[in-house]
Structure 1
Amino acid sequence: MANTDQPTTDSHVAVLAFPFGTHAAPLLSVTRRLASASPSTLFSFFNTSQSNSSLFPSDLPSNIHVHDVADGVPEGYVFSGRPQEAIELFLVAAPESFREAIASAENDAGKKVTCMLADAFFWLASDMAAEMKASWVAFWTAGPNSLSVHLYTDLIRQSVRVNDGCMEETLGFISGMEKIRVKDTPEGVVFGNLDSVFSDTLHKMGLALPRADAVFINSFEELDNTLTNNLKSEFKRYLNIGPLALLSSTSQADALVEDPHGCLAWIKKQRTGSVAYISFGTVMTPPPGELVAIAEGLESSKVPFVWSLKEKNMVQLPKGFLERTREQGMVVP
């Protein structure tokens, strides 16, 4: 999936997207804004074909070229249903996949990559940029607290004794994190499977990010000045560019408010502050028993709700739930 129009280019930026959850879309928003601001720069956007197919509008700037990379799933592979299985397959294959795709894009463009703009998950961009003598700019799609947790993973593990009482301890030994408890940290930092491919990726990311030429995040400085100042001291350059919704073009904004299921019209009919919204993102889904418990709790509460749930998981809901709650709420894919 490569755009073959060739603008006159002064430089070539490789954009490495993480194709799971809400990661690729905000990185694309940033790339579009940069491409508009620098029309003589070529941006090669690397992502899986499945993610690319859901992202790109028809009005893509001519200096953004879209390239597909392998998703890491072997031919004929049967998924076991293990959490993060698709993510781990992708991450294992990512170094080779990205290197091959970048080499092909450089050949097509006739210009070497001079900058790597990558989702922060890809700590491998540090090594790739060094090999290519290119700069490395990392994008963290979330806020400063979660970034700090991954930056200080080793310190947290050294300072927290894992036992039944540790979950209520705070991370007061990290500037700006005094109110964050151990149990507020993501799984894979102190508890959970610390040796999973995904946990290892995030750990290596935290170790590599201080080497980046710049780190920018979807937040704003005034949200937490103490945390901002601490992160500025850890990185060569630390930039808050959020909220990213303000970067969206008119066409992107229109796409964001597309409402095929009529949620907005339904919500407007409800009392202010009365609607519960339930979503677990696009990567993880609670096990069937928990979905049933959530459904039963919603139904018995009589609280108006909008529940974002993949269509394939709706079969796990209690029999008759959708019909009985038709007036109370909405379950949308």
Structure 2
Amino acid sequence: MGSPLPHVAVVAFPFTSHAPKVLMVARALATAAPSATFSFISTTDSLARLPTGAGAAPSNLRFVEAPSGGGDGPGIPSWRRMELFLDAAEDGGLRQALETARAAAGGAAVTCVVGDAFMSMAADAGVPWVAVWTGGPCALLAHVIGDTIRKDIGDHAASRADEPLASYPGLGMYRVRDLPFGDAGAGGDMYRVMTTLLGRVAERVPRAATAVALNAFPGLFPEDVSAALADALPNCLPMGPYHLLPGGGVTADRGGRGTDEGYSAGPASQGGQGLRA
């Protein structure tokens, strides 16, 4: 008997603009591999808010709901919705969604997960995991080596705010204040949730990802940046910009739909090359 046809689960992070970006990747992959099955996984609310102006999805791409963790009710703050979802996903919600995808595909088991890097619990899915980073690649690099930087800076982020990160390969063009965790005055519930999330990303992606898709193209960054990314991450795949991928065909709604979940990338991320996730 031959090998079963691939069944790829594309897992979105269902907040802000993450899901539309990952949908671009899903559509492009489904277009490029018409004999494979693709399941796009996100919460009910996230799926309902996806942009609709790209035309019909490829016939081999289906949409599968993931547990929200109970944060869908009115009046629940953004940080709490995110926390509930992540707790549920870590506690078996992602595995449940993968099983739902298997059943919806006529029993075809998921053979690979292509997922937003924020959904790093995919490291335990038991199949190859390609992490998709939707922001600037240098931000991912900063998170991966973040523990080292934090030990160096210590409690002096404020006094060293304008100090260049010259001793860290690939980050020499930035200052301490540009770091995702370089704001000495940062705090609050959303900051706490995001710090936990990104700490998991920094630990799991280098250890467990089969490859990392970057929203960039070869040659976009100086050689030292590309070398640092290749050294820190497994099998980097610069395959962006995602919105230009053949068959991707999705753009975020101009009205801001999908970008209202209450946390900001910060000014350093403008243009996609900053350090804020």
TM-score, with normalisation over the residues of structure 2?
Answer: 0.81
What is the deviation of 1:78? 4.3
Aligned partner of 1:265 in structure 2 is none
Q: In the superposition, relative to structure 1, how do residues 106 and 188 fare at CA in structure 2: closer, same or farther (>3 Å)?
A: farther
Give the 3-state SS of the residue equivalent to 1:137 in structure 2.
strand
Alignment-mate amino acid for residue 236 of structure 2? Y
Count residues in correspondence.
251
Give the 3-state SS of the residue equivalent to 1:242 in structure 2.
coil
Give the 3-state SS of the residue equivalent to 1:226 in structure 2.
helix
Alignment partners' CA distance in 2, 1:155 and 1:136: 26
CA contact (8 A) 2:71 2:81 kept: no
Q: Deviations over 1:240-259 (max 9, x none)?
A: 11222212649x36x66x87
Aligned partner of 2:260 in structure 1 is 282
Alignment-mate amino acid for residue 237 of structure 2? L
Aligned partner of 1:88 in structure 2 is 83
Give the 3-state SS of the residue equivalent to 1:88 in structure 2.
helix
**Larger % of helix: which?**
1
Give the 3-state SS of the residue equivalent to 1:148 in structure 2.
helix
Alignment partners' CA distance in 1, 2:183 and 2:132: 20
> 1:237-252 alignment to 2 at 5 Å?
237-247=235-245, 249=247, 252=249
1:207 to 203, 210, 214: 203
1:155 to 142, 148, 151: 148
Q: Deviations over 1:266-301 (max 9, x none)?
A: xxxxxxxxxxxx9xx532279xxxxxxxxxxxxxxx
> 1:181-192 alignment to 2 at 5 Å?
181-187=175-181, 192=186
Alignment partners' CA distance in 1, 2:263 and 2:233: 34
What is the deviation of 1:85? 2.5
Higher RCO (CA 8 Å, separation ≥ 6 residues): 2
Aligned partner of 2:100 in structure 1 is 104
1:28 aligns with 2:23: yes
TM-score, with normalisation over the residues of structure 1?
Answer: 0.68
CA contact (8 A) 1:123 1:204 kept: yes
Aligned partner of 1:18 in structure 2 is 13
Larger radius of gyration, structure 1 or 2?
1
- Alignment gaps of 5+ in structure 2: 265-277
> 1:1-333 alignment to 2 at 5 Å?
10-55=5-50, 57=52, 59-73=56-70, 78-79=75-76, 81=77, 84-95=79-90, 96-109=92-105, 110-128=107-125, 132=126, 134-163=127-156, 164-187=158-181, 192-193=186-187, 196-210=192-206, 211-224=208-221, 225-247=223-245, 249=247, 252=249, 281-284=259-262
Q: Deviations over 1:24-61 (max 9, x none)?
A: 11111111111111111111111011111122645111
Alignment-mate amino acid for residue 70 of structure 2? V
Runs of 4+ in 1 over 3 A off after TM superposition: 74-78, 187-191
Give the 3-state SS of the residue equivalent to 2:203 in structure 1.
helix
Q: Which moved more, 1:84-93 or 1:68-77?
A: 68-77
CA contact (8 A) 1:156 1:190 kept: no
CA contact (8 A) 1:189 1:199 kept: no
Q: Deviations over 1:127-170 (max 9, x none)?
A: 12xxx3x1110000011211111111111111112233022222
Alignment partners' CA distance in 1, 2:195 and 2:116: 16
CA contact (8 A) 1:157 1:190 kept: no
